[in-house]
Amino acid sequence: MKIEWGSRTRSLNLGTYPGRRCETCQGDRPFGLWLRYTCDYIFDPALSKVLERKYVAVCESCGQGALLDTKTIEAALKKDPIPWQDRLGFVVGAGAIALVALVVFVVTHLR
């Protein structure tokens, strides 16, 4: 069995962001809303934990972006956009390991 660990960064397209002025294009442009997050993992994705989140409004014309306030964006979202494996991977993986350890303990002590 190969033990794998590290960190990775992923980007999620969350749809459109209300039009605003792009400082690079010098005009009102459509923007996309992106989430860039980093997580550490062991046995990808069995044990993973999100370390950092950044929400960015990206101009659909030139690709330049502007960081947005995380708390403001998350308050407006209906649910957490990060897949559950990345958000809860550590909890689920640790729970599975604890369950296996409990079963081994019970089986060895009932003999």
**What pLDDT, on a 0 to 100 scale, did the predictor assign at position 87?**
80
Q: Map residue 5 onto helix, strand or coil.
A: strand
Average pLDDT for the chain: 86
Answer whether the bond into residue 81 is a cis peptide, omega within 30°: no
pTM of the model: 0.74
Query: Is 34 within 8 Å of 17 (Cβ atoms)?
Result: no
Distance CA 61, CA 74 (A): 25
DSSP state of 25: T
10-53: pLDDT as tens digits: 999 999 998 788 888 888 999 999 999 999 887 765 678 888 99
Distance CA 83, CA 75 (A): 18
Q: What is the mean pLDDT of residues 55-79?
A: 93
Query: What domain range is 30 assigned to?
Result: 5-109
Query: Is 36 within 8 Å of 56 (Cβ atoms)?
Result: yes
Q: What is the mean pLDDT of residues 90-101?
A: 76
pLDDT category at 111 given cuts 50, 70, 90 is low
b/e 56-76 (16+ beta carbons within 10 angstroms → b) = bbbbeeeeebeebeeeebeee
**What pLDDT, on a 0 to 100 scale, did the predictor assign at position 44?**
61
Distance CA 49, CA 23 (A): 35
Token duo for residue 36: 């860039």
Domain count, the chain: 1
